[in-house]
Amino acid sequence: MTMNFQVNLQGLIDLLSNHLYSDPGIFIRELLQNGVDAVTARKRLGQSFEGQVLVEVYPSETLSFTDNGSGLTAEEIEQFLARIGSTTKRGDLDLADDYIGQFGVGLLSCFVVSDEIVLITRSAKGDGALEWRGKPDGTYGIRSLEREVPVGTTVFLKAKPEFAEFFQYDQVEELLHKFGQYLSTPIILKEDRYERRINVSKAPWDMKKEEALAYVEETSYYRPMDIIPLVSAVGGVRGIAHVLPHAVSLQDEKRHRVYLKNMLLSDKLSSILPPWAFFVNGILNTDSLRPTASREAFQENELFFAAREELGECIKRYLMELVDREPELFQRLVRVHTESIKAMAVEDQDLYELFIRHLSFETSFGDLRVSDILASRKEILLAPTVDEFRQIARVAKSEEMLVVNGGYVHDLDLARRLPWVDSSATVRIVNTLEFAERFKELGAEEKAEVQPFLELSDRLLSGFQCQSLVRWFEPADLPVLYNTNQEVNFFRLADDAEEKADPLYAEVVRVIRDALYERPYARVCYNYNNPLVRKAVESGNPRMQKACIELFYTQALLLGNHPMNADELKLMNDSLLFFMNEGLARTEVDR
């Protein structure tokens, strides 16, 4: 035996009000939608009439929505209103696309704000007028009306006390305007004898560029840089994207305004344009993308993504044409939206080629445009992290080397591909540890003189995974250049872990550290241009040299903002105290 289980309508309505719809004001949209759909349905019957939806605001917090659409027969009322989830619009599957609504749950959103729905209707297919009264507990009654009623449907709602604000004239006007301002069926709002039409505006997707610029300025309080027309045959999308006149954070959620068959679906839909399109806000209308049950977003299916790709192509095409058409505007766009453009260029080779020469990078010679970089150098060095860039930037400049900072998001990937646009250019990623080896070497005689000092330095610093070398380099006031890279930190962690772990995990750490990686040593490069370094080398006094090396090393750490461990701090203190003592002793001798 098959039985029906009971659905608690009250509970269902609670569910809808709290979870399906994000805002109680949605009932306005649902009623508007039912009205517009009824007008469409009556037109389909071949009847000639001027479609209209009339919304009346009464004192005592009551609203009525009247349309002169198809109306409902007693049978349709049974089928549609008495059964949640079914809809009169579904029978006609082939034609269903002209309707906005899909799910037949729309009327339920009225129970969120009202304890009773009264519906008076007369079907365009004939029969007399009917009155239907429904309550949120699932009970309803139908009766025939004696009096004359025009074809169409009127819905009356009386506000629950807590939702009275949604029944005030201003609020109703605002919501009608928000959802329905671009619908083609006239929407009239009436209070007492005063009437006004809500939807007189032209939709942005029907506007010419100048109109759209003025429209955005009026509604968003800024004048956009430009308007990009958007069209996708897939999903029947038309719209505009306006180029924001100010930079935006890449972290911000995008809010595009999207309409479904001219009815507002969402004013904060982020996914309708490709994620790289940070620098525009879109206003779009679609005929055939499928909404989700709450009709506040779209189902993200293949159709949706195909449409999104198509819209992305529109933006790309616009940018490519803009370079020649309005070079000044193009430059301004690049200046304001650099970050966004970098994110785009990483994703797409065409856009990369379009933009890259106009972008700027931080280099050892300050911020430079790529066109200037490529004009001045063919050999470009690229530091992979901000930290490594900072270590070498100053010396690189003195040594006339152009190093690009690749440490910021996207810059490494962008700079690495420069040979794409200039095949004579080479880009090398700097190995910071080998950086100092590029400097001028010492002569044979000097080398021999320095050798014992270097050996002492290697011995003293080997415990800190640091090797020593000496070169001539600029600036002369810098005695030592200390270079490390990211891997040095990792090796320190590995060594600590090996020491702390049990034998099994010590073995695990060793395999990773020794079989998968090569151990990097940090480098101190002494500058033979620096008088203090030369004096230290020449002094020949091992005690004095030891203290010098320790102080050079720890000073370099301090200058480079590298964290010092306990041993390194002790090294610094010991060497400082040594020099203090030496200095004081000499003062005593002098006296």
Partner 1 sequence: MNNRFEELRRASWSLPDGKQKLAVMEEMIRLADLYRPVSDAYEVRMNYVSAAPDGGCAERMMIAFAWCLAEFRKHPDQYSSFSLLWNYKWVLNQIWRIPEFSRETADRVFEDFKAMCTEFGYNLRPYHQQRVSYLLSLGELDEAADAYRLWRATPRDSLADCRACEQNLFGEYRFRIGHLKQGMKTLKPIMDGRMRCHAIPQNTYSLVMNPHLQLGETDQAIAVSRKAFRELEGPAYLEEYGELLETLTLMDLARAYKLYERTLPFVRESRIGWNNLNYLYAAGLFVEEWTKSKRRKKLPMADQVTPEWISDELGRLIQAFDRRNGNSIISERMADRVKTFHKLKRKLAKGSV
194-199-204 Cα angle (round to 5) = 155
Bridge partners for 141 per DSSP: 133
Shortest reach from residue 244's CB to partner 1, in Å: 21
- Cα gap 368→357, rounded to integer Å: 10
Nearer to partner 1 (CB atom), residue 84 or residue 497: 497
Helices (H) and strands (E) in the chain, counts: 20, 21
Beta strands at 226-232 and 237-243: parallel, antiparallel or unpaired = antiparallel
Give the C-alpha separation, 27 to 156, whole Å: 12
DSSP run (H or E) holding 544 = helix 542-559
Show the 3-state SS of 374-426.
HHHCCEEEEECCHHHHHHHHHHHHHCCCCEEECCCCCHHHHHHCHHHCCCCCE
- DSSP class of residue 525 equals E
**Residue where the block lists tokens 């962690």:** 493
Closest CA to 189 of 52, 59, 68, 70: 52
Q: CB of 243 within 8 A of CB of 225?
A: yes
Distance CA 529, CA 190 (A): 88
Interacting residue ranges for partner 1, rule: CB under 8 A: 251, 302, 305, 349, 385, 387, 407, 409, 413, 486, 489-490, 492-494, 496-498, 500-502, 504-509, 511-513, 515-517, 563-566
Positive/negative CA dihedral, 135, 140, 146, 147: positive
**DSSP string of 238-259?**
EEEEEEPSS---TTSPP-EEEE
Smallest separation (angstroms) from partner 1 to the CB of 492: 7
* 407's tokens: 């440490």
Token code pair at residue 523: 């480098």
| Largest pairwise CA distance in the chain | 126
Contacts 24+ apart (CB under 8 A), 426-431: 426/378, 426/379, 426/380, 427/380, 427/381, 427/382, 428/379, 428/380, 428/381, 428/382, 429/381, 429/382, 429/383, 429/384, 430/381, 430/382, 430/383, 430/384, 430/388, 430/392, 430/403, 431/485
Residue 236 CB, nearest approach to partner 1 (Å):
21
Cα separation of 447 and 269, whole Å?
Answer: 68
> What are the E-state strand segments in 97-225?
114-122, 130-134, 140-144, 152-159, 187-191, 194-197
* 277/494 with CB nearer partner 1: 494
CB atoms inside a 10 Å sphere around CB 422 = 18
Vertex 567 angle, CA 566 and 571, to 5°: 115
